[in-house]
Structures are given as C-alpha cells and as structure tokens.
A = this chain, B = another copy of it.
Amino acid sequence: MSTTNTEFLADFAAMSGFGATPGGGVDRQAGTPADHATRQWFGGWLAQHGYTETVDEAGNQFGTIELLPGAPYVLIGSHLDSQPLAGRYDGAYGVLAAAHAGARVAAELRAGTVEPACNLAVVNWFNEEGSRFTPSMMGSSVFTGKLPLMDALATTDPAGVSVAQALAAGHRAADAGAPVLAHIARYAEIHIEQGRNLEESGTQVGIVDRTWAASKYRVTVDGAQSHTGATRMQDRRDALYGAALVIAAARDLAAEFEPGLLHTSVSELYVLPNSPVTIARQAVMNLDLRSPDESVLARAMELLGKAVADAEARSRTEIGLELTHRWGLVAYQPEGVALGIASAERLGFSHTEIMTVAGHDSTNLKDVVPTVMLFVPSVEGISHNEAEYTRDEDAVRGVELLTEVVRRLVRGELAAG
C-alpha cells in the first residue's frame, strides 16, 4: 500500500508519542519500556502496510516484502532507540522514512511500473545509541559480523541488566526467518545531519561520501581515598582533580587547530567512592576525538599525551588511556554516492556531498554491502537534545529522495561490489 507525505508526517507525530518528554523530545533508550512500546507500534504499522515482521537474536526488527521469491533484499533503515532526553528525529526519522519509501516502491512493484531485481526489507537496528548498553551501533555490528552475538547479549547497563534480559523483558522473541547478512544485496539509510552544514549552505539534501576519523578512549585516573577536610593539600592524590585536568586539556586541544578540524569530548564520568567527604580514589571517563584529517588526530593525541603527563604530576595520580574504538577517514562507495546524486537531480533537489561526524548503522553496512547514505538538514545542527528539529518540508523531501534511491536499488542499479 503506497503512502502520502501527509500520512508520513501523521505517522511520525504518532510515533513520537512513545517515550515523549515534556520538552518535546523522546527518551527511549534501548530495551526500555519506551523502546518496547515504539517497536510494538512500528510492528503494527509494518503489518498494516504489507510487511512481514521478524526479529533476529540481536533484537534487530525487520519488515520484509517478498515479491521475487528467493531474490536478495534491498535493506533500508536506521534505529528507533534514543539517547536520554533526546530529540524525536535521530534514527526514528530514518526508520519511518524507510518504511514509507519501501511501501511506496512495493506499490509500484505490485502495479508493475517497476521491474524488481530484489525484494525489499526495512530494519530498525537495536541499540544504535549505546547510551545504556555500550558499544553503540550494537545491532548492526552483530548483523555485519563485527561483534559476536554472545558478547552483545551479555553486555550490561550500569544497573547490571543485560541486553538479553532487556530484550526478553519486552521485545518480540527472535524469529527463525529473520533476514541475515547473506540475504542483503544493498543498503540505504537516511538520517538528520546533526550538524549545520546543509542549513548554512541552504542545501536541501546531502549525500554522505565519507566519515570523519575517530578515536575513542577509556581514561582511568587512579588516586587514593582520603578525608576531604583533614588531608593536607600536598598529601592528596585526588582522582577527580586529575580527571578535571584531563577534561579541560582535551577541550583546549581543539583550540590548537583550525575550527572544524578537531572535535573533542568527555561526556561520561564515574567517580569512586563519590562521597561528599572522601577524596576520589578513581575516576573513569570516556574521551572522544574526531577529525576530518587523520594527521590532525595523530597530532592531537601527541599533544594530549603531554597534557596527561602534566595532569598526573599535578594531581599525583596515575592516568591510563585505553583505546576502545578507532576508525579512519572511511569513504562510502563512490557508486552509492553517484546513485544518491542522480536521485537528487532526478527530483530537482539541491544537493551536496557531505561528511558525517557521527557514526551510523550505515557505517557498519557500507563495509559489507553497497550502501547509500543520505542526510536532511537539522535546524541549528542541534541533536541529542529535546530541541532537535527538522522542518516538515525537509523531512518529506527526504522520504521522496529515499524512495527514488530504493526504486533504483530494487531495479538493480548499484551492482554488488
């Protein structure tokens, strides 16, 4: 059954009611009741629009339309889970856009106006955000063989609940018939930009051609507990002070380079024992460095090493950095970019090639199947915030672009690489 843009916007508004927050955003971290409710609603939507719903063991939720028995799938999707107190667009926009695009193309296939070379599948990847269960992009990492299923299921949140428990608590049980990687011929995803490049340049759509390089570390600062009042300043080995010096140094690092060449963040910090009258014995935090230039990342880490040594000396602590994730400046397949551009031109949308700073499920998929990644503008680039917003006209333009891309993929454009 085909859909209209008005229906898309109405569906998006309805879906945004799950885990809705007072500030106009959503809060539906992976495997929480709000995530379960959104998935259940989406499963109902899929059934009403001619899809067959299945779920795999990693919690990825699929809707398939099989018109050419035995043929591989064009897979389209993103993720319905969110950060805490997040916006309604991040991920969720892409899943619903995929579902509508798939329904539109399926209607054309049934009407015989398009000749299929593939079947169609829509996906809601489990736990893209990684805020409750680390690492992020968990579902697509398992699907693409980068993360063992057992490791994903055993991952626990800060309260000690495992992914397996969270899935069992409210997700539909896994189906034997859910798609696996071998069934997938091509992948497409659309997402809000989460930056302000499209908005500032007045461009309607972006075709993602590369990801920024990123290095992520776990930083552990080891000091010694002592009394906050009685301990002489020179006797202290204050882990939280050591952490504060590293946080400030990481931020100052960005100012050493031209604006836009280095993004640095520390956003997660655990302090032990975190008592008002005991100096911290340990602080553990993340450290996230990203750049569109790998040599900048290397230089930044060199500078950071010096800042860390200085922080150790000043706070009398020991600071360890463990690399947890690293990816280089990776290109999306040029053929996929060309297909995205051709689709935008066919529809008369202004467009540009664009880099993504954020990771997406397509970052995993592009390594194993030909992939097309699309962006629509984010107002003021705000994301991971209740105020995240994409204008309706941009949102429906994205659905139309994704529909054109899927139409071409289903016809067999973009041969497997």
Contacts and interface: CB of A to CB of B under 8 A. Distances in A.
A47 interface: no
Contacts of A359: 229
A233 B212 contact: no
Among A212, A228, A248, A358, chain B packs the most CB atoms within 10 A around the CB of A228
Nearest to A254: B233
Contacts of A273: 83-85, 131
A225 B130 contact: no
A238 B251 contact: yes
Contacts of A357: 227, 229-230
A226 interface: yes
A385 B225 contact: yes
A277 B384 contact: yes
A225 B240 CA distance: 22
B240 A267 contact: yes
Interface in A300-358: 356-358
Contacts of A383: 226-227, 230-231
A382 interface: yes
Interface stretch (A65-73, A163-171, A202-210, A278-286): A278-286
Contact of A266 (B86, B240, B251, B262): B240
A263 interface: yes
Interface string A176-208: 000000000000000001111000000000000
A288 interface: yes
A112 to B, nearest CB: 42
Contacts of A134: 276
Given A233-B263, A267-B279, A276-B130, A241 B251 contact: yes
Contacts of A244: 243-245, 247-248, 251, 266
Interface of A: 83-86, 129-131, 134, 136, 193-196, 212, 214, 216, 224-235, 238, 240-241, 243-245, 247-248, 251, 254-255, 259-260, 262-281, 286, 288, 290, 356-359, 380-386
